[in-house]
Structure 1
Amino acid sequence: MTALTAASADAFWATSLRRWNTVCWVLFGAMAVGLVTTAPPGGSKYKALALLSCVVLCYAVLDRFPRNPVVRPQVYLSVLVLALGGLAYLGSSYAALFMVTLPHYWMFGHTPRASMGFLGLATGATVAGSLVRQGWSAEFFGETLVSTLIVVAVGVLIGLWAHSVVAQSSERARLIEELERTQARLSEAHQRQGAADERERIARDIHDTLAQGFASIIVLAEAARAGMSEDPARSVQQLRSIESTARENLAEARELVASAGQPGPGREESGSVAQTLRRTLDRFAEDTELTVDADLSDLDCDQHTRIALLRCTQESLANVRKHARASTVGVVLVRRPYGVELEITDDGAGFVVDESTGFGLDGMRKRLAELGGRLTVTSSVGDGTRVLAVIPMADEVEA
């Protein structure tokens, strides 16, 4: 169904008004010809033509210059009332003018009250003019008064109905226009929110991949430089780790570029998350020389879950490397009835969880929340840290 906007409604009524104006000019011309050809000669004929000319002149000015400061709708309706009274007194075509101009009271009255007021004045003027001319005769009561009241009653009913239709159409057009504006604002808000979400996702991916990789490179480079003279073999190993990390960062950067505009990883592959975490833990133990106790169940999960668990592990290990000053790290991956559970603990310095302002923990929480999971961090100063990530599997989510 085609929506009727305010602009189309205005265009519709403007077209209708132009058509009615054309009809009015034709009827005004016919009335003038009728007065010239049928009215008996004498002064009353010219007076009737003068009254009709006043009405036509005011209507022409109002039609041609709607914002004219002199001839306004109220002025035209007042002239029309006087002309109807005069023509009724002269007995010259007042009934025809009354019927021709009946819609004008509703077109130019602006409000139903004003329209009814001017229509009442026109009725009174017509009846008064006829009464003065005919007196209290049977012709006045039988023809003039009754026919006038019938015409006025029909005009009132038609006018009220037309005004109701116009008001409803205008209200519908206003509501539709407001709805379209609201939909446009909502679409813009969705676009802005989508752009913000995409920026946040990219920032989180960069933090969890490239930034962590560069941080590892910096730590390894500092350690290799410091041990170059005392333990060259260890420095060579660290340089190899730097090279491997740099290559992995390059691969991660290419993957981020390739997946730009996608809501997440582009593949829906399934596989063992234990193998992925094992490689990460082996690299971490090799680079930091910390003891890593890993108990990883061989679980198959989709790519989204595997990446979320990997990122949580990488972020937790990066925090251990930078802040914990720990000697041992424990990692447990197990399948529970409610989903997959990843627990990472360390015996480091610990911290106050509520005072943490870093981007990493917040990014982990949001990443898990996207999969319906949750992150729990437990720590206190001097007692190490425990990070627990829980992600429901697909069957649990559907249940």
Structure 2
Amino acid sequence: MSQWQQQPGDRLIQDRTLRWNLAAWILFGLLPPAIAVLDASPARMCWMFGLLALIALCHTVVLTRPDTSVPSPRTYLAVLAVVLGAASYLLDGGAAFYVVSLPQFWLFTRTPSDAIGLSGAAAALTVFGGTLGQGWSPHFLTGNAVVTVVAYVAGVGLGLWVHRFVGQSKERQEQLASELSVTQEELAVAYQRQGAAEERERLAREIHDTLAQGFASIVVLAEAARAGVVSDPVRCAEQLTSIEQTARENLAEARVLVGSAPVSGVAAGSLAATLRRTLDRFVQDTGLTVTAELPDIDLDQRTRVALLRCTQESLANIRKHAGASTVGVVLSERPGGVELEITDDGRGFVVEESHGFGLDGMRRRLAELDGELAVTSSLGDGTLVLATLPTQSQD
């Protein structure tokens, strides 16, 4: 088939073009010669009907079985050229039949050279057949022969233009397909990098909120225990117990982070109990006064973990930076959400000048759940941390 017909993307256009060409060819190509010989001699009529039936059969086979047909499209066009010549002889001129059949030489060939050669041969046979049937005369030279030659020249010009246009369209299509493929690959790489970056950020936040805080607590407790090993052995023993417990918790968190344990955080419905244990440990390690209002609120797993991490980060900041003596923690349920408020009476800080990983990590963690973090503080007036989260369905 023709070069453009072989492209899968042009299948719809190809089918429509072939159907319209077939309809026009039957209506204006096959029917007029058949009608023209109805009043001719029986022999001429039989020959014409036989030729038309032959070429119609070949056309049907080529059209319905383009890849495995016998005859091949090239052979079919050669037969068509002969039929055009014979019909021109029987009709004493077949320029109209040739003009209607001319598009097939471009539709059923692979290259322009094949179309030009085969349509030229058909034009020559048409002129030759008409010459034999009508005889050489000035009338003939200005009639069917001239029309056939003009149609051939016009067909070659139009065919070359269409071939060039289709070729340029295919090149553009291939270029766009190549660019699309490259863009898809780049997007895939970008998504992969984005996913890796998000995973690294998540791991960094988890390590900071769990392992790093635990190790910092172990260091502080170890220093205190070493200083009081002689002067206050009872307190030293308590601190060593806290070190052991913190180390075990860190080990459990490490196993979670590497995927060898279930997701950590809080058991279902136990946020208040977990926060109480966390605050008891904080009091034991620091000696600070802590007041807490922790009602039992049923929350989904992600919300419980987020609030626990915010509490742990806030307590770690109080221990390291605040110099406070009193800490307050209030967990409360609001319409459509839950709030966690953590306050201290420490030295405070300028919120706008603070860009630590801990606060940013809390904001990002809450934002992932459509929550918000508000931090209010000023030098000498302590700090208030307010975490707000919408209520989610239970896991």
TM over 0.5: yes
- Greater shift in the superposed pair: 366-375 or 166-175: 166-175
Q: Kindly state the Cα deviation for residue 365 of structure 1 after the two structures are TM-superposed.
A: 0.7
Opposite residue 154 of structure 1, the aligned amino acid is G
Task: For 1:318 and 1:143, locate their aligned partners in 2 and report how far apart those are by CA, in whole Å.
Answer: 102
**Which position in structure 1 is the counterpart of 2:312?**
314
Q: Kindly state the Cα deviation for residue 274 of structure 1 after the two structures are TM-superposed.
A: 0.5
- Does the aligned pair in 1 maintain the 2:210–2:250 contact within 8 Å? yes
**Which position in structure 1 is the counterpart of 2:371?**
373
Q: Kindly state the Cα deviation for residue 183 of structure 1 after the two structures are TM-superposed.
A: 1.7
Task: For 1:278 and 1:304, locate their aligned partners in 2 and report how far apart those are by CA, in whole Å.
Answer: 19
- Does the aligned pair in 2 maintain the 1:241–1:287 contact within 8 Å? yes
Task: For 1:240 and 1:315, locate their aligned partners in 2 and report how far apart those are by CA, in whole Å.
Answer: 22
- Does the aligned pair in 1 maintain the 2:342–2:386 contact within 8 Å? yes
Opposite residue 173 of structure 2, the aligned amino acid is R
Distance 1:259 1:352, change over 3 A: farther
Opposite residue 372 of structure 1, the aligned amino acid is D
Q: Kindly state the Cα deviation for residue 151 of structure 1 after the two structures are TM-superposed.
A: 1.7
Task: For 1:267 and 1:312, locate their aligned partners in 2 and report how far apart those are by CA, in whole Å.
Answer: 12
Q: Deviations over 1:179-236 (max 9, x none)?
A: 2222221111111111111111111111111100000000111111122222221111
Q: Deviations over 1:138-191 (max 9, x none)?
A: 443234432111122334444444444444444333333322222221111111
Out of 316, 331, 334, the residue aligned to residue 333 of structure 1 is 331
Out of 338, 352, 355, the residue aligned to residue 354 of structure 1 is 352
Distance 1:366 1:259, change over 3 A: farther
Opposite residue 315 of structure 2, the aligned amino acid is L
Indicate yes or no: 2:209 matched with 1:211. Answer: no
**Which position in structure 2 is the counterpart of 1:153?**
154
Opposite residue 381 of structure 2, the aligned amino acid is D
Q: Kindly state the Cα deviation for residue 271 of structure 1 after the two structures are TM-superposed.
A: 1.4
- Does the aligned pair in 2 maintain the 1:377–1:388 contact within 8 Å? yes
Distance 1:168 1:188, change over 3 A: same
Indicate yes or no: 2:231 matched with 1:233. Answer: no
Task: For 1:190 and 1:268, locate their aligned partners in 2 and report how far apart those are by CA, in whole Å.
Answer: 32
Opposite residue 246 of structure 2, the aligned amino acid is T
Opposite residue 176 of structure 1, the aligned amino acid is A
**Which position in structure 1 is the counterpart of 2:300?**
302
Opposite residue 320 of structure 1, the aligned amino acid is I
- Does the aligned pair in 1 maintain the 2:346–2:383 contact within 8 Å? yes
Unaligned runs of 5+ in 2: 10-66, 68-72, 79-97, 117-136
Alignment of 1:239-250 (within 5 A): 239-250=240-251
Q: What is the percent sequence identity of the aligned residues?
A: 58
Alignment of 1:74-153 (within 5 A): 107=112, 137-153=138-154
Distance 1:236 1:268, change over 3 A: closer
Q: Is the partner of 1:234 in helix, strand or coil?
A: helix
**Which position in structure 1 is the counterpart of 2:271?**
273
Distance 1:180 1:256, change over 3 A: same
- Does the aligned pair in 1 maintain the 2:256–2:264 contact within 8 Å? no
Q: Is the partner of 1:152 in helix, strand or coil?
A: helix
Q: Deviations over 1:273-295 (max 9, x none)?
A: 11111100000001100000101
Opposite residue 199 of structure 1, the aligned amino acid is R
Opposite residue 324 of structure 2, the aligned amino acid is A
Paired residues, number: 300
Q: Is the partner of 2:189 in helix, strand or coil?
A: helix
Unaligned runs of 5+ in 1: 10-15, 17-21, 28-94, 109-114, 116-135
Task: For 2:266 and 2:255, locate their aligned partners in 1 and report how far apart those are by CA, in whole Å.
Answer: 18
RMSD: 4.5
Task: For 2:260 and 2:329, locate their aligned partners in 1 and report how far apart those are by CA, in whole Å.
Answer: 30
Q: TM-score, normalised by structure 2?
A: 0.64
Indicate yes or no: 2:392 matched with 1:391. Answer: no
**Which position in structure 2 is the counterpart of 1:180?**
181
**Which position in structure 2 is the counterpart of 1:253?**
254
Opposite residue 185 of structure 2, the aligned amino acid is A
- Does the aligned pair in 2 maintain the 1:375–1:388 contact within 8 Å? yes
Opposite residue 198 of structure 1, the aligned amino acid is E
**Which position in structure 2 is the counterpart of 1:342?**
340
- Does the aligned pair in 2 maintain the 1:269–1:302 contact within 8 Å? no
Q: Is the partner of 1:270 in helix, strand or coil?
A: coil
Q: TM-score, normalised by structure 1?
A: 0.63
Task: For 1:138 and 1:180, locate their aligned partners in 2 and report how far apart those are by CA, in whole Å.
Answer: 61
Task: For 1:258 and 1:394, locate their aligned partners in 2 and report how far apart those are by CA, in whole Å.
Answer: 25
Q: Is the partner of 1:271 in helix, strand or coil?
A: coil
- Does the aligned pair in 1 maintain the 2:292–2:328 contact within 8 Å? yes
Q: Kindly state the Cα deviation for residue 107 of structure 1 after the two structures are TM-superposed.
A: 4.4
Distance 1:259 1:149, change over 3 A: farther
Q: Is the partner of 2:343 in helix, strand or coil?
A: strand
